[in-house]
Chains A and B, each alone.
Chain A
Amino acid sequence: MNSRIEIQRNILDFTLSSLLRRKTKNAVLMVVFTIVVFMLASIIFFTNAVKREAVAVLQNSPDIVVQRLSAGRHDLIPADYIKTITDMKGVVSVKGRHWGYYFEPAASANFTLVVPDDGGEEGRIVAGKGVSRTMRAGDGDILPLKSYKGEWVVLSIKGVLKSDSELVSSDLIEISEKDFRKIFGIPKDRFTDLSVTVRNPKETLTIAKKIKDSFPDTRPILRSEVLRTYDSLFNWRSGLLLIIAAGAVLAFIIFAFDRASGLSAEERREIGILKAIGWETSDVIAFKFWEGLVISLSSFMAGIILAYFHVFVAYAPLFEPVLKGWAVLYPEFRLVPFIDPFQIATLFFLTVLPYTAATIIPSWRSAVVDPDQIMRSQ
């Protein structure tokens, strides 16, 4: 047993010295392999963390949101819908919600204005961290917003939401109902949408159907649909994943193809010499196995570790320009490090194993040929 381990150690020793003889080529190979794994792992970590966080946080969103559609677009919903929906069996409560978007021309940023359940405090707002950062306004400062009539509504900031909640609140402004109506000119008998609470979660779909039947101009959105949205938002078919993953996979296929398509003259000569001095075919295959494993495993591990630091310690700075788009207000969210061992294992089986296999196969083809023939063919 010990002698077997010793043999493998010696083969590994020889493999490492062989790799060092072609150190520039192998170093480039390892750097590119590491980058490929790093990019794929970064996307996997990022999208998985966003999905898991969305599910954990949005579990607490309204059971049903009822929107009214007009000419195919979201429109204000009349207050008298509330009474009819409240009377439906299984409905606990229906609340009219006020929220909307405000474009701030000075900063060219979009804010989300939202009225809390208690109606808020007139003339005073709570700003999200992103709003505070973009407007350079903090606790006690004034934030004037222009109403639909072109008049300024002067609001004072009574608080700034903490940065650890930026993923849900970066662009939010908590505003009073009165100020909200003043800015957007919304009549008293209209709401942005309705939030419905149901007694039994199993009845949610039935109640949504009843709402749709009673008010054909509405569109009920279930909490399960909200959660599914975030599950599918960054799936493999979405642009970000597809473009980066396709690039990385193509680069990897080129690698593996290069290895599998045959050995260089120098590598063939090396195998010929090894066979001539008494190495068995199995030893040559073990040597090539170690060679593939040294490159792929080292690169894989380095790529995974770098991706973890990139996403969860440095907060994905490489993705920032992509995610930012044209937005002026960019949430500086810090993702909680959810990692899935299954996804890491999948990445391992998709990168390390094919590369190692692609290294062994052409070597086996060369190793079974007579050494004299290999060396004469040079």
Chain B
Amino acid sequence: MRRPDRFLFYIGANIFIIAVMFIHSFAATRNIEQVFAKKIELVKRYGLTDLCIFTEARYTRHPSQADLNTPFQDYPLSFEHFPSGSIISPPEHLRLGMKNE
């Protein structure tokens, strides 16, 4: 096999793998209700409002329910000290809420 053919074969193989990725993604997300059935059941049962991504601080455990004074959780001059608070941005309604207050 000539060198260009080997390269084109490599690109073709990559395209094939990416196509398989898309098929895998499509198959795994085709029926959302079914895929997330157990999670949806728990959300309904407990009335959950947030995903459990960070457990270290209450305003990152439940960002949608965070207090309006979240950036000043401890006292007005305190810095954000939980790493997760630096990773995510504050909820939009909180930022708007603070403007409107």
Q: Is the CB of B38 within 8 A of A164?
A: yes
Known: A301-B11, A322-B87. A339 touches B21 (CB 8 A): yes
Contact residues in B for A52 (Cβ distance below 8 Å): 29
Q: Is the CB of A336 within 8 A of B35?
A: yes
Partner of A53, one of B2, B47, B51: B51
Known: A54-B51, A57-B39, A341-B22. A72 touches B69 (CB 8 A): yes
A309: min CB distance to chain B, Å: 9
Q: Is the CB of A323 within 8 A of B58?
A: no
Q: Is the CB of A326 within 8 A of B83?
A: yes
B78: min CB distance to chain A, Å: 14
Contact with A along B70-96 (1 / 0, CB 8 A): 000000000000111011110111000
- Residue picked from B11, B38, B64, most chain A C-beta under 10 Å: B64
Q: Is the CB of B55 within 8 A of A331?
A: yes
Q: Which of A82-90, A111-119, A245-253, A361-369 contacts the other chain?
A: A111-119
Chain B residue, CB-CB nearest to A17: B3
Q: Is the CB of B29 within 8 A of A337?
A: yes
B24: min CB distance to chain A, Å: 6
B59: min CB distance to chain A, Å: 10
In the bound complex, CA of A339 to CA of B24 (Å): 10
In the bound complex, CA of A174 to CA of B45 (Å): 10
B8: min CB distance to chain A, Å: 8
Contact residues in B for A238 (Cβ distance below 8 Å): 87-89
Contact residues in B for A174 (Cβ distance below 8 Å): 46
Partner of A225, one of B7, B36, B48, B64: B64
- Interface check A147, CB cutoff 8 A: no
Contact residues in A for B88 (Cβ distance below 8 Å): 233-234, 238-240
Q: Is the CB of B91 within 8 A of A225?
A: yes
Task: Please classify how large the interface on chain A is, using the bins under 10, 10 to 19, 20 to 34, 35 or more.
Answer: 35 or more
Contact with A along B56-69 (1 / 0, CB 8 A): 10100101110111
Chain B residue, CB-CB nearest to A167: B51
- Residue picked from B2, B69, B88, most chain A C-beta under 10 Å: B88
Contact residues in A for B89 (Cβ distance below 8 Å): 232-235, 237-239
In the bound complex, CA of A10 to CA of B3 (Å): 10
B61: min CB distance to chain A, Å: 7
Partner of A165, one of B39, B68, B83, B84: B39
The chain B residues found within 8 Å of chain A, CB to CB, are 2-4, 7, 10-11, 14-15, 17-18, 21-22, 24-25, 28-29, 32, 35-36, 38-40, 42-56, 58, 61, 63-65, 67-69, 82-84, 86-89, 91-93, 97
Closest 10 CB pairs of A and B: A325-B83, A301-B14, A229-B91, A327-B56, A238-B89, A225-B93, A12-B4, A229-B64, A226-B64, A240-B87
The chain A residues found within 8 Å of chain B, CB to CB, are 9-10, 12-13, 16-17, 50, 52-54, 56-58, 60-62, 65, 67, 69, 72-74, 95, 97, 99, 101, 109-110, 112, 114, 116-117, 128, 130, 161-162, 164-172, 174, 193, 195, 219, 221-222, 225-226, 228-235, 237-240, 294, 297-298, 301-302, 304-305, 308, 312, 322-323, 325-331, 333, 336-339, 341
In the assembled complex, 28 residue pairs joining A and B whose CB atoms fall closer than 8 Å, in A order, are A9-B4, A12-B7, A13-B2, A16-B3, A17-B3, A52-B29, A56-B32, A60-B40, A61-B48, A69-B68, A73-B69, A130-B52, A167-B52, A168-B48, A171-B55, A174-B46, A221-B49, A221-B65, A226-B50, A232-B89, A294-B7, A297-B11, A302-B14, A326-B56, A326-B83, A331-B52, A336-B36, A339-B22
